[in-house]
Amino acid sequence: MTTPDFLPVVTASVPAENVQTALREIAEIIGADRVIAGDGSGEFRDPYQPGSWDAFATTGVVQPDSAEHVQQIVRIACRHGIPIWAQGQGRNNGYGGAAPLVSGGITINFRRMNRVLSIDPQLGVALVEPGASFQDIYDAIEAAGADLMVAVPDIGWGSMGGNQQDNGLTYLPYGKDWRNICGLEVVTADGELLRTGMGAMENNKSWNLYKRNLGPSIETLFFQGNFGVVTKLGIWLMPKPEVITHVHIDVERDEDLIPLVDTLRRLRLDGTIDGVPCILNTLLIASTIAPRVNWYEPEEGIIPDEVIDEIAAKIGIGRWHLRFALYGDRVVNEHNLQKSITAFEAIPGATIRHTTTGPGEWGSLPDPSDRVYAGVPNLDWNTMAGWRGGDNGGHMSFAPVVPLTGQEVYGLQMWLKAEFERNGIDHTSDIIVVNERSACSVAGITFNIDDAEATEDAYRAIRELVTAAGRIGFGEYRAHLQFMDLAQEQYGWGDHAYRRFVEKIKDAVDPQGLLSPGRHGIWPAALRPQR
């Protein structure tokens, strides 16, 4: 094998026959057809890892049908000392997909636990299993005839549970600061069940309604964490507004990003704009439409600025494209729209488009991103992954958090552009404005996974970026398997006080260290790297 030696390949120290024994024991409980090993598990690799590499390899994928199944799986794995990696649908593409960080263990996949257990139309809340995809939830809401919406991400095939547990970003107002999730059920490392929030009380009806509990609230420990396996999630659903107004704003020049961000921040802070706007550059939008070769023929080097301008003109956008939606009564939306137009029109050369539609029209909006902002999941933007390589395209994100000021956002973008260009990578950028004060600046690095060398170069480039960004105070919101450690390493304040504190928790609640070891840089004592 030719796996690059910089990849942090950790293999479980458990004998292979123990894993096979455990998989047989699990099969007896959940059914042999729900245990996938050998070739069949290929679907659960990182889909963007070249075939010649063997990092992040599972020994077997198990698909439980109930929380009780999960408890038994955890108990069996712990008895045999086998690491477990849990996800949702396994669509964490760009961050490692379904693959585990530690090889040689067992993967729990929740495609079979994808039920929407209940929808309460009065309180706007649902209880779902961790494998329920955004599409599943959308379909269940529509089938129930509830006038509710679920906040969805760009691509709707993933599970809400998996997405949110990775701090995944969704776009509607409830996506802001991950307001969505309220109340978890979790299998802990001892195979017991725990409920967070008010669910810690028998018969308490506020489990999925109230955000805290008596005593310290532990819910966020299970987001980007490895302290338990989530088996149920309470999720909040927003009532459908009378209308949604989709707004698209283009600015001509890179530096117009400064007033664009500052105007947006003011309108967010004063409540004119809610939800999660995003600001995309020309190449990011181009990548959602067609592969690179359709826009620019030479494979080598980056796309020059003048070609970017040509592409922008072809698509009819600018250097930066802001999109957001207003949700509300028609008269309020109209006021907020006019206020937004007045504010953004002050940016020279800004162009503004907007459409206002009611619930009946949201499913057929022509722009897939408008559908996303209307809570209608779709897969259209998956085109992005094929920027290089088409059907064999892969991508990986570099996604630091940035304060929501024009200077900060622009400064970071120009720094990123220079870093990307130095590495021969097109700078695609999606600045996702997660609240009124900060954004996740997601830059997608794309590569042809059939070209192992180019893929390795892309991997290396991101690793360098993570470190370089950390030096200037920018940290990632989420990391690919290959650089979870490196990204966490940048959070070194107080001699890594945060990581030391969290790893004490890890050792206390998972003493064998078998639940998703190493996830986002948090290791159990047995596998903790020398640092």
Q: Stretches 296-304, 330-338, 425-433, 451-459: which one binds a copy of itself (CB under 8 A)?
A: 330-338
Q: Stretches 59-67, 151-159, 225-233, 313-321: which one binds a copy of itself (CB under 8 A)?
A: 225-233
Q: Stretches 75-83, 94-102, 447-455, 467-475: which one binds a copy of itself (CB under 8 A)?
A: 467-475
Among 75, 115, 335, 354, binds a copy of itself (CB under 8 A): 335
SS (H, E, C) 459-501: HHHHHHHHHHHHHCCCCECCCCHHHHHHHHHCCCHHHHHHHHH
- Spatial contact of 369 and 321, defined as CB atoms under 8 Å apart: no
Between 164 and 281, whose beta carbon lies closer to a copy of itself? Answer: 164
Distance in angstroms (rounded) separating the CA atoms of residues 158 and 250: 30
- Spatial contact of 188 and 227, defined as CB atoms under 8 Å apart: yes
Distance in angstroms (rounded) separating the CA atoms of residues 130 and 235: 11
Q: Stretches 52-60, 106-114, 295-303, 489-497: which one binds a copy of itself (CB under 8 A)?
A: 489-497
Site track for a copy of itself across 99-138, x = CB under 8 A: -----------------------xxxx-------------
Distance in angstroms (rounded) separating the CA atoms of residues 353 and 221: 41
Between 50 and 100, whose beta carbon lies closer to a copy of itself? Answer: 100
Tell whether residue 219 is a contact of a copy of itself (CB under 8 A): yes
The upper half-sphere exposure of residue 159, i.e. CA atoms within 13 Å in the direction of its Cβ, equals 28
Tokens of 438: 């900060």
Show the DSSP H helices in 209-328 as ranges: 257-269, 282-289, 305-315
Distance in angstroms (rounded) separating the CA atoms of residues 286 and 291: 8
- Spatial contact of 187 and 68, defined as CB atoms under 8 Å apart: no
**Between residue 393 and residue 432, which ones bind a copy of itself under the rule CB under 8 A?**
401-405, 408
Tell whether residue 179 is a contact of a copy of itself (CB under 8 A): yes
Residues that contact a copy of itself, how many (by CB under 8 A): 103
Site track for a copy of itself across 8-27, x = CB under 8 A: --------------------
Tell whether residue 218 is a contact of a copy of itself (CB under 8 A): yes
Between 386 and 470, whose beta carbon lies closer to a copy of itself? Answer: 470
Tell whether residue 358 is a contact of a copy of itself (CB under 8 A): no
Among 47, 394, 521, 524, binds a copy of itself (CB under 8 A): 521
Among 68, 491, 527, 528, binds a copy of itself (CB under 8 A): 491
Site track for a copy of itself across 253-292, x = CB under 8 A: ------------x---xxx--x------------------
Least separation in angstroms between residue 148's CB and a copy of itself is 9
Least separation in angstroms between residue 471's CB and a copy of itself is 9
Residue 16's H or E segment, with its range, is helix 16-30
- Spatial contact of 61 and 36, defined as CB atoms under 8 Å apart: yes
Q: Stretches 132-140, 249-257, 284-292, 327-335: which one binds a copy of itself (CB under 8 A)?
A: 327-335
Q: Which of 115, 1, 102, 11 is nearest to 64 (CA)?
A: 115
Taking the CB of residue 148, how many other CB atoms lie within 10 A of it? 22
